[in-house]
Amino acid sequence: MTSKIHAAITGVQGYVPDYILTNAELEKMVDTNDEWIRTRTGIEQRHILKGEGQGTSVMGIEAVKGLLEKTDTDPGEVELVICATVTPDMVFPDTANIIADETGMKNAFCYDIHAACSGFLYALTTAARFIESGAHKKVIVVGGDKMSSIIDYTDRTTCVIFGDGAGAVLLEATEEPVGIMDALLKSDGSGREYLYQKAGGSRYPATADTVANREHFVFQNGRPVFKAAVSGMSDVVTQVMQRNGLSADDIAWLVPHQANKRIIETVARMANFPMERVMVNIHRYGNTTAGTLPLCLWDWEGQLKKGDNIILTAFGGGFTWGAVYLKWAY
């Protein structure tokens, strides 16, 4: 009898750019204030990638370099690189290709996934399937966004929320019962009217008008997104725990997408998690879209123990959402 192959995270590394955009600086840019931002979102600062010609790959490359080094991985052994991002360096080629080229992963095939804030969960699950099928043994998943490239810094309803950052994980095949145990991913295209970037795709290619009308920036109708995020994430987290016979007491950490601290607190309450076991770093980074989950794992890596049950959950544009149950492998 052959044992089931599991896909285990065997390393994580993050990267955020040096420049810190504080609430105080935003107060000078739009009609907002530190108190509103902290109490309505939980955000105190976000990191911004500055400089001409600097795309999301810059952050992904730094994260991957650190990951390869700390896991002592030969870049030539990595067989697949998936990059989750809604802010690719260019429409094509994929940012994953650029990251792989710059980090020496010459034998990997590479592609991007665009699933907004759920991108990392979608990419992680897809990568796990490639490993569980026996097709590949070493895969790198990058989640990262340069949200500052699609944010309108005259729109106070979005510019206070988002930041730039990236994280990367190494996934390896193992026959030990650790790694990705279950995933429940969802999409509902009818939610697209509440959160989108109108122009720059094939429907509305860039013109002088699309630029003048500020259509290359994120549009969000916050309240319906807030409600859908709370119900969507609490629903999939509860379902994943139930179908694996787990209660919140069995879970070491809940790792939620970092879009709004009030959303995180409500989801935790609805799924019966005490906040001491919920990863929250939104105050430092804001919402880095596909970057939030790997940045959480990176920040908490030192506290994680082999065998810890962890639930990741996210919600984002599309709508897209989901939950992944994994057992920490080291």
| 54 is an interface residue for ligand COA by CB under 6 A | no
- Using the rule CB under 6 A, give the single segment among 95-103, 121-129, 153-161, 200-208 that binds ligand COA: 153-161
Q: State the DSSP string of 209-261.
A: HHHHTTTTSEEE-HHHHHHHHHHHHHHHHHHHHHHTT--GGG-SEEEE--S-H
- Using the rule CB under 6 A, give the single segment among 12-20, 33-41, 121-129, 168-176 that binds ligand COA: 33-41
Instruction: Determine the Cα–Cα distance for residues 84 and 127; give it in Å rounded to an integer.
Output: 11
Q: Is 19 helix (H, G, I), strand (E, B) or coil?
A: strand
- 173, exposed or middle or buried, with CB in 10 Å at 0-12, 13-18, 19+? buried
Query: Minimal distance in Å, beta carbon 218 to ligand COA?
Result: 8
| 229 is an interface residue for ligand COA by CB under 6 A | yes
Q: Could you tell me how far CA 181 lies from the centroid of its own chain?
A: 19
| 231 is an interface residue for ligand COA by CB under 6 A | no
| 104 is an interface residue for ligand COA by CB under 6 A | no
Instruction: Determine the Cα–Cα distance for residues 312 and 85; give it in Å rounded to an integer.
Output: 18
**Is residue 287 annotated as a catalytic residue, yes or no?**
yes
Query: Minimal distance in Å, beta carbon 226 to ligand COA?
Result: 4
Single out the catalytic residue among 97, 159, 257, 296.
257
| 263 is an interface residue for ligand COA by CB under 6 A | yes
Instruction: Determine the Cα–Cα distance for residues 57 and 146; give it in Å rounded to an integer.
Output: 9
Query: Minimal distance in Å, beta carbon 39 to ligand COA?
Result: 9
Instruction: Determine the Cα–Cα distance for residues 321 and 297; give it in Å rounded to an integer.
Output: 19
The 162-201 site mask, x for binding ligand COA (CB under 6 A), equals: ----------------------------------------
- Residues lying near ligand COA in the complex (CB under 6 A) are found at 32, 36-37, 40-41, 117, 156-157, 160, 222-223, 225-226, 229, 259-260, 263, 287, 315-316
Q: Which residues are catalytic?
A: 117, 257, 287
